[in-house]
Amino acid sequence: MIIVYILIGVIVVLAFWGVSLFNSLVTLKNRTQEAWSDIDVQLKRRHDLIPNLVESVKGYMKHERELLENVTKYRAQAIDAEKSGNMKAMGQAESMLGGMLGKLQIAVEAYPDLKANTNVAQLMDELSDTENKIQASRRFYNGQVRDINTKIETFPNNLIAGMLKFTKFDFFEVTDEKERENVKVSL
């Protein structure tokens, strides 16, 4: 009879552990999806700012036509990647767009009249603020991905997570090796 009570006790403990594990996995999954949504909101803001900035600088930057075309092209690629839902392609497109925006900011510095234009200055400030928010959102998202992936991969959680069809999330990473290189400053 005592064996039956021990067996029932073990089953109850395992049931509580299973419910607790399931609830924590759902919580982490929802937090990760929320973090991705935060990135998405900031990327949308960046995508909305770019056409205004390009139009504002077009008249001044006659010699930078290729740069402006590339910014526009990479923005379109980033929007397409976002619509496809492919996070890896989106990360690559956003990295390329970020690189072009950095080049655009450097180019604006070379045009004193453009730099003095209040509309352009305001757009550049908003874009810079948005870039900072994107970086913060990416760090938060990657932290959430780390937490859920760790929970899914550790034993014995991996047994239950696999049965419940919980899958790992991808990190939002820099895919362009040029962006990983140190910036070279020459005076």
Closest listed residue to residue 170, CA positions, set 109, 91, 103, 104 = 91
Residue 12 lies in a domain: no
pLDDT in tens, 18-67: 899 999 999 999 999 999 888 888 888 888 888 888 877 776 666 677 78
pLDDT in tens, 136-184: 998 999 999 999 999 999 998 898 898 889 999 988 876 655 544 544 4
Closest listed residue to residue 121, CA positions, set 56, 31, 187 = 56
Cβ–Cβ under 8 Å, residues 129 and 46 = no
Phi and psi (nearest 5°) for 151?
Answer: -65, -40
CATH code for position 133? 1.20.1440.20
Residue 89 lies in a domain: yes
What single-letter amino acid sits at 125?
Answer: D
- d(CA 69, CA 50) in angstroms, rounded, equals 12
Domain that holds residue 53: 25-180
Q: What is the DSSP string of 139-165?
A: HHHHHHHHHHHHHHHSTTHHHHHHHTT
pLDDT in tens, 92-142: 888 888 888 888 888 777 777 766 677 777 888 888 888 888 889 989 999
Spatial CB neighbours of 70, under 8 Å, sequence gap ≥ 6: 100
